[in-house]
């Protein structure tokens, strides 16, 4: 057990260095932060020029912060989670680093644990930065960070399996696009009521809705049961998929 933990710690250190050294992965980690800066500037200018009274401005501000914080969660999880897992593992396979690790008596489970911890760490750091850039109230921070970690679970697990299934970085690009698109679906729920219903059933739809409830102060209420159930269902589906495919893709590659 101790030997396995030491291996995971050493792998995590290596993965952190690789993340910093890899320009593509570093840029993707910065993209959600850049989008939040852009949202803050653009949306701020629009509301300032709208000529709203104090009450209307307060209501508009609350809807905007719900959208920006929910968007930050979806973008960070979709971009950072998929990039670190899918591209990170695919790059190691393409450079035969993963094979070298296996020959050095490092198990597939230890590699998976390191990649998962790295993804969750990067997602948490990005979420924290996005929260303050978006102007979130400190009272929402605990809920925001917890929702970010919980929402990451199904995306990270699926991305981990896809990363192990990739042959190279070109294949990783093909596999990562659907993950990212599905993660971003809740952002478009405001455009149409029917689309909002569909978006609420996606892997991050429940997290997006729960973040809005946290802003409204209704997170601890019966209204939260439905998005909680959706989130729990996707976590269970992610765990089942991971358990069913992890050993197979790790062995076949």
Regarding pTM above 0.85, the answer is yes
Q: For 53, which DSSP code?
A: -
User: 178: Cβ–Cβ under 8 A, 6 or more apart, which residues?
Assistant: none
How far is 227 from 48, CA to CA, in rounded Å? 33
DSSP 47-107: HHTTT--HHHHHHHHHHHHHHHHHHHHHHIIIIIIHIIIIIHHHHHHHTTHHHHHHHTT--
Total tally of structural domains belonging to the chain: 1
At residue 166 the predicted structure's pLDDT band, cuts being 50, 70 and 90, is confident
At residue 41 the predicted structure's pLDDT band, cuts being 50, 70 and 90, is confident
Q: How many residues does the chain have?
A: 253
In Å, how far are 88, 171, 221 from 163, measured between CA atoms?
8, 9, 38
Could you list the residue range(s) of the whole structural domain that residue 205 is in? Answer: 2-252
* Mean pLDDT for the stretch of residues 187-191: 81
Nearest alpha carbon to residue 85 among 226, 179, 183, 201: 179
At residue 49 the predicted structure's pLDDT band, cuts being 50, 70 and 90, is low
At residue 249 the predicted structure's pLDDT band, cuts being 50, 70 and 90, is low
Average the pLDDT over each of 65-79, 85-99, 131-145, 230-244 and give the range with the smallest value.
85-99
Maximum CA pair distance of the chain?
67
Mean pLDDT for all residues in the chain: 85
Q: Give the HSE-up count for residue 163: Cα atoms under 13 Å, Cβ half-sphere.
A: 27
């Amino acid at each position: 057990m101790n030997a396995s933990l030491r291996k995971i710690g050493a792998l995590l250190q290596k993965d952190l260095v690789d993340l910093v050294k890899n320009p593509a992965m570093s840029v993707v980690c910065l993209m959600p932060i850049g989008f939040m800066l852009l949202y803050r500037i653009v949306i701020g200018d629009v509301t300032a020029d709208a000529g709203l009274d104090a009450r209307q401005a307060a209501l508009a501000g609350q809807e905007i912060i719900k959208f920006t914080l929910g968007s930050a969660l979806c973008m960070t999880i979709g971009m950072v989670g998929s990039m670190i897992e899918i591209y990170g593992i695919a790059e190691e396979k393409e450079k035969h680093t993963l094979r070298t690790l296996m020959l050095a008596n490092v198990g597939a489970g230890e590699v998976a644990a390191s990649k998962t911890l790295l993804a969750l760490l990067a997602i948490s750091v990005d979420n924290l930065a996005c929260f303050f850039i978006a102007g979130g109230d400190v009272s929402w921070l605990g809920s925001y960070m917890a929702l970010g970690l919980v929402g990451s679970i199904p995306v990270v697990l699926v991305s981990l399996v896809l990363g192990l299934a990739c042959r190279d970085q070109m294949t990783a690009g093909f596999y990562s696009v659907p993950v990212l698109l599905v993660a971003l679906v809740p952002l478009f729920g405001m455009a149409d009521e029917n689309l909002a219903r569909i978006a609420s059933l996606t892997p991050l739809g429940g997290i997006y809705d729960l973040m809005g409830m946290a802003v409204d102060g209704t997170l601890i209420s019966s209204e939260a049961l439905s998005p909680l159930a959706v989130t729990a269902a996707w976590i269970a589906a992610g765990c089942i998929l991971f358990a069913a495919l992890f050993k197979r893709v790790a062995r076949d590659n």
